[in-house]
């Protein structure tokens, strides 16, 4: 699962103790394990090898340049959703021809930048965007490689805010309209409309919604081919689960075992856009306890991380396993689970310093006793953690550290008060 483990009564990331990292780099601190990132990528590559797919690492899940470089070294292609992400991928050495560019609202500037860079595919979300893409490409004397994002109307059974595959969401065009879009645009100058794109939501912790959406997508490809359109590729999106609790999601091999046979022999280049499944368990957020307090019938651990470092609990009510880095009485967690209740445990809310009641990292958890100065680890924070951080309450963003065996290095320095005001001066 990952290389964050308790040994000798304390948390380690690979060969380094979490306490030593906090001591050296301060808190709050994002810590990533290189070995975990590489291991997750390899598991995906092995699971899907029979299709020889493009594994487009979803930059939005964790966009640090050093992590993008590592993904490129592993052999990844990239999935970006903005000019900024494209810039990051290219700066990390990505081959632009192996970048796919998604998003419902690409600006003209972003489209021009992507055409100039020569990116692999635009994942196009509407007729209006397709029209605009064709016009801009013609004006630049280019032909834009395009995949039409199709909304398969499949329920991924995940949080409503991260559901994208249902008809009522803003993403893609419905299956009927998709055919009309090919008829209207596939022969337009400036466009090479030759693929479809599906992405139903995130995280999708079961395989069945993928089977449904890909089956519908392949039916569409058949129909389009019967109508004479040359469909060469299918992008099946991302959303594969991670382990916020132990064994919460299918393995890469389990997703592939059900999905790959559908695609094998379809005569299509296959693309995937995994993010979380690579990065989530590869990162943690270390935080130090500032105060403990009792109020009403609650005990609060007030820590130095908050919703500004990790907004997922506030935004989606999402669960992150939390545990002291050096638990009292050596009570290391036997597994990561919402159900643990060690002997002598206290029921706590883990909250930050930000002035909002939504500022919590965990609620109603049984933890070994924690006192002022103790370090607590928030697990499975590598995806949609730092990337969604903010400076709200004028809090400088935390540092990011990449651990490789016994070695740890800063991959993003902690922001300073000067950084807070730099763009305003």
Instruction: Count the helix, strand and coil residues of the chain and give each as a percent rounded to the nearest 5.
Output: 35, 25, 40
Minimum CB separation of residue 188 from ligand LLP in Å reads: 24
Show contacts with ligand LLP in window 86-105 (CB under 6 A): 102
> Contacting ligand LLP (CB under 6 A), which of 40, 312, 320, 397?
312
Our CB check for ligand LLP shows the closer of 312 and 395 to be 312
Among 13, 56, 62, 355, the one annotated catalytic: 355
Our CB check for ligand LLP shows the closer of 118 and 317 to be 317
Minimum CB separation of residue 184 from ligand LLP in Å reads: 23
165 binds ligand LLP (CB under 6 A): no
* Strand 399-404 versus strand 407-412 pairing type: antiparallel
Which pair of structure tokens corresponds to residue 91? 């700066």
**H helix or E strand, kind and range, residue 128:** helix 127-139
108-147 footprint of ligand LLP as x/- string (CB under 6 A): ----------------------------------------
Our CB check for ligand LLP shows the closer of 273 and 404 to be 273
Task: Say if CB 393 and CB 420 are below 8 A apart.
Answer: no
Task: Say if CB 313 and CB 360 are below 8 A apart.
Answer: yes
Q: Which of 28, 19, 21 is nearest to 326 (CA)?
A: 19
> Contacting ligand LLP (CB under 6 A), which of 125, 273, 359, 400?
273
Count of residues engaged in binding ligand LLP, rule: CB under 6 A? 20
Alpha-carbon gap, residue 53 to 273, rounded angstroms? 10
Task: Say if CB 12 and CB 18 are below 8 A apart.
Answer: yes
Is residue 74 part of the annotated active site? The answer reads no
54-73 footprint of ligand LLP as x/- string (CB under 6 A): ----x--x------------
Alpha-carbon gap, residue 408 to 33, rounded angstroms? 9
Alpha-carbon gap, residue 43 to 256, rounded angstroms? 11
Minimum CB separation of residue 418 from ligand LLP in Å reads: 29
Our CB check for ligand LLP shows the closer of 199 and 365 to be 199
In the sheet where 16-17 sits, what is the strand order? 4-7, 10-13, 16-17
**H helix or E strand, kind and range, residue 286:** strand 283-295
Q: What are phi and psi of 260, to 5 degrees?
A: -60, -40
Our CB check for ligand LLP shows the closer of 61 and 151 to be 61
Our CB check for ligand LLP shows the closer of 239 and 398 to be 239
Q: Which of 424, 304, 312, 425 is nearest to 376 (CA)?
A: 304
Our CB check for ligand LLP shows the closer of 79 and 85 to be 79
Minimum CB separation of residue 75 from ligand LLP in Å reads: 17
Alpha-carbon gap, residue 36 to 282, rounded angstroms? 5
> Contacting ligand LLP (CB under 6 A), which of 172, 274, 327, 368?
274
219-258 footprint of ligand LLP as x/- string (CB under 6 A): ------------------xxxx------------------
**H helix or E strand, kind and range, residue 212:** helix 208-226
> Contacting ligand LLP (CB under 6 A), which of 126, 202, 213, 389?
202
Alpha-carbon gap, residue 394 to 387, rounded angstroms? 17
Catalytic site positions: 355
| Residues of this chain that bind ligand LLP (CB under 6 A) | 58, 61, 79, 102, 162, 199, 202-203, 237-240, 273-277, 312, 383-384
């Amino acid at each position: 699962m990952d290389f964050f483990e308790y040994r000798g009564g304390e948390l380690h990331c690979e060969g380094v103790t979490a306490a030593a990292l906090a001591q050296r780099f301060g808190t709050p601190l994002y810590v990533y394990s290189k070995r975990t990132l590489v291991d997750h990528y390899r598991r995906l590559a092995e699971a899907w090898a029979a299709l020889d797919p493009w594994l487009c690492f979803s930059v939005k899940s964790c966009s640090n340049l050093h992590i993008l470089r590592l993904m490129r070294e592993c052999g990844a292609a990239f999935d970006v959703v903005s000019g900024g992400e494209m810039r990051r991928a290219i700066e990390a050495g990505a081959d632009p021809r192996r970048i796919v560019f998604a998003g419902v609202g690409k600006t003209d500037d972003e489209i021009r930048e992507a055409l100039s860079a020569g990116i692999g595919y635009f994942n196009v979300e509407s007729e209006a965007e397709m029209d605009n893409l064709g016009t801009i490409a013609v004006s630049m004397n280019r032909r834009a490689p395009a995949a039409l994002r199709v909304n398969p109307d499949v329920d991924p059974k995940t949080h409503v805010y991260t559901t994208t595959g249902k008809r009522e969401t803003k993403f893609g065009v419905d299956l009927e309209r998709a055919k009309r879009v090919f008829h209207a645009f596939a022969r337009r100058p400036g466009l090479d409309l030759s693929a479809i794109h599906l992405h139903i939501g995130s995280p999708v912790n079961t395989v069945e919604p993928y089977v449904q959406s890909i089956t519908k997508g392949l039916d569409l490809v058949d129909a389009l081919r019967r109508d004479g359109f040359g469909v060469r590729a299918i992008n099946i999106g991302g959303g594969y689960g991670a382990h916020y609790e132990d064994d919460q999601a299918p393995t890469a091999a389990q997703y592939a075992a059900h999905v790959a046979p559908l695609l094998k022999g379809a005569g299509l280049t296959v693309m995937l856009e995994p993010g979380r499944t690579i990065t989530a368990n590869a990162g943690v957020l270390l935080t130090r306890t500032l105060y403990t307090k009792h109020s009403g019938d609650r005990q609060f651990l007030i820590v130095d991380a908050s919703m500004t470092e990790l907004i997922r609990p506030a935004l989606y009510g999402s669960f992150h396993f939390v545990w002291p880095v050096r638990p009292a009485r050596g009570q290391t967690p036997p597994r990561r689970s919402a159900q643990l209740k060690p002997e002598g445990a206290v029921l706590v809310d883990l909250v930050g310093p930000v002035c909002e009641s939504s500022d919590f990292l965990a609620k109603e958890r049984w933890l070994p006793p924690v006192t002022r100065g103790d370090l607590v680890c928030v697990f499975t924070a590598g995806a949609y953690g730092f990337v969604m951080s903010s400076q709200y309450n004028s809090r400088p963003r935390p540092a990011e550290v990449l651990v490789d065996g016994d070695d740890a290095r800063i991959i993003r320095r902690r922001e300073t008060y000067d950084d807070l005001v730099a763009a305003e001066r």
